[in-house]
Amino acid sequence: MFCALSGESPEDPVVSKVSGSVFEKRLILKYITDNGRDPVNGEDLSVDDLLPLKLTNKFIKPRPPAASSIPNLLISLQNEWDSVMLETYQLKQQYHTARQELSNALYENDAAKRVIARLMLERDEARAALASVQATYTAPAPSGTGVSKGDDQMDVDQERPAPVSEELARAHEKMQATSAALSKIRRKRKPAATCATADQVRAYSQLLDIPGNKTSSISSLDIVQQTFAGEKRDWIITGSAKGKITILDRDDGGKAVASVAAHKTPVRDVLWKGTEAGSLSFLTASTDKTIKMYDVEHSEDADFRISKVKHTWKSHTAAVASLSMHPTGDYFISAGDDATWALNDINTGETVSRVELPGGAGYTAGHIHPDGLIYGAGGADSVVRLWDVRSQSNVQNFEGHKGKITGISFSENGYYLATSADGEAVVKFWDLRKLTDFKTIEIEDAKDTGVSKVHFDYSGQFVGAACGSELRVYVIKQWTQLCNVAGHSATIADFKFGTDAQYVVTGGSKGEVIVDGVAA
């Protein structure tokens, strides 16, 4: 008789009612105290479940000689081997279970880290966006210069603002309300179902070729699609180097609808104001230092004509280079060679505010952010400056070009800014959330060394760059060229994407206007 725990002959043996095994009383009592179960089958065991054994002879007889034979020894060794293997098997099972539990814990830990990293990235992007756009909308601090807006915002040197007029205060209120409304829907807006796909843009073909007067080159153009005089109009307006403005009907084969000699000097920019049903107006900017506004009128004989000058702005002391419509539809911003930009009221014909860059080079291009609170102006000094329209402060400068800035365009989602310069066959893209130059497209096999204009389409999926007589269209994020519109024989002065990127209109320095797009 041997103890199931020690394997030795017990001096005070007891037997378990649960398993029927014999134990040394001293050992089993200690085991029950520590574990509370039977060591043989693992079932619950108490002291009451132990039965004492009374032995008449506690002496253990020696192992009989037969047990010392080789076969019996082999059997004993086999039993020991089986016990070792069984224990090894159990240890392997426990090891496998532990590995599975550890693997699961590591997977959960890795997944948690990925979620945390993504959330931190989104947080940093949101902070950067707030720093570059919304945080700059706050008025300058009342102290002097060297204002620091915190670790997550831009450091901006700002002067104490001049007293704000009542008219400017009303403009600021309208801008803030418009920005709040647009920012809620703009980032969630997806491209329309009718928007051209990358494959369709890649297959652009020439839809219309409108010959022009070779002695009067086109310097700028704009397009509008609006219901006017009872019908939907798809019109192109062009400004020439001789100061003439011409309206062309794209749906009628490019027929001239009306024209006017708006200026006696070259027109630098034209801009449709087509926001109200039933009315249609446009703005012109010239080297004669003036900006003019005209209405398009519809006569009883179904003809169209251009009215007399409705408003004239003299906001600049030098040539006016750029016009940009504010999202409110009540204001526009102009920039000129006098290194100033001005906020102008379309309804009253007044200049609301005028901001000058002391000692700065003249502005050659400009565009307003889709929210309406940031204005980008590029100068002859190759610098692109971002201005807070409300506080009229210069909040950020982008340097990287070598020639004068020729094109500026904000993407509709408000995240990216595209710029181009004279003498460089490249387009640079700036991330407004991180304020960095994150992408540069080098135009391959360019026939000209300068990009004259750069524009995003309204959906923000495509960007075009006019380089010499060619227009290259690229797809955003992949940054690959989709097509090369090369129908002009001379430099493309300006271009605009049509609705849903279904077509693009280009104007050349020889006066021709060409429409390329998705074939019907």
Are residues 310 and 349 in contact, defined by beta-carbon separation less than 8 angstroms? yes
Q: Please write the tens of the pLDDT for every residue from 455-506.
A: 999 988 999 999 999 999 999 999 999 999 988 888 999 999 998 999 999 9
Task: With cut-offs at 50, 70 and 90, classify the pLDDT of residue 133.
Answer: low
Mean of pLDDT values over 324-329: 92
Q: Does pLDDT of 258 surpass 90?
A: yes
Distance CA 34, CA 30 (A): 6
What is the rounded average pLDDT of the residues 101-119? 90
The predicted pLDDT at position 60 comes to: 57
pLDDT at 39: 87
Cα dihedral: 135, 373, 286, 216 (round 10)? 100
pLDDT of 166 strictly over 60: yes
Rounded Cα–Cα distance for residues 236 and 494 (Å)? 12
Of the candidates 270, 269, 227, 267, the residue with the CA atom closest to the CA atom of residue 251: 227
Residues in Cβ contact with 246 at an 8 Å cutoff, skipping those fewer than 6 apart: 237, 238, 240, 256, 258, 259
Under DSSP, is residue 465 helix (H, G, I), strand (E, B) or coil? strand
Q: What is the pLDDT at residue 152?
A: 38
- Residue 7 is predicted with a pLDDT of 79
Please, what is the average pLDDT of the chain? 86
Residue 40 tokens, joined: 């043989």
Task: Output the pTM of the full model.
Answer: 0.69
Say which residue, 58 or 55, is predicted with more confidence. Answer: 55
What pLDDT was estimated at residue 56?
65
The pair of structure tokens assigned to 87 is: 């224990």
Closest C-alpha to 352, from 315, 395, 385, 312: 315
Q: Evaluate if residue 169 carries a pLDDT over 70.
A: yes
More confident residue, 131 or 328: 328
277 pLDDT more than 70: no
Give the pLDDT band (50/70/90) at residue 107.
confident
> Is the pLDDT reported for residue 297 higher than 80?
yes
Residue 142 has pLDDT above 80, yes or no: no
Q: pLDDT grade, residue 147 (50/70/90)?
A: very low
The pLDDT, as a whole number, for residue 65 is 66
Spell out the domains of the chain, with CATH numbers in brackets. Answer: 13-61 (3.30.40.10), 186-517 (2.130.10.10)
Range with the lowest mean pLDDT among 135-144, 262-271, 435-444? 135-144
DSSP string, 245-265: EEEEEGGGTTEEEEEEE--SS
At 207-219, the pLDDT tens digits run 999 987 655 789 9
Per DSSP (E only), the strands in 68-217 are: 147-148, 155-156, 205-210
449 contacts: CB under 8 Å, gap ≥ 6: 423, 424, 425
Supply 411's token pair.
């993407």
- Looking at residue 404, its pLDDT comes to 95
pLDDT of 161 above 60:
no
* For the chain, percent of residues with pLDDT exceeding 90: 52
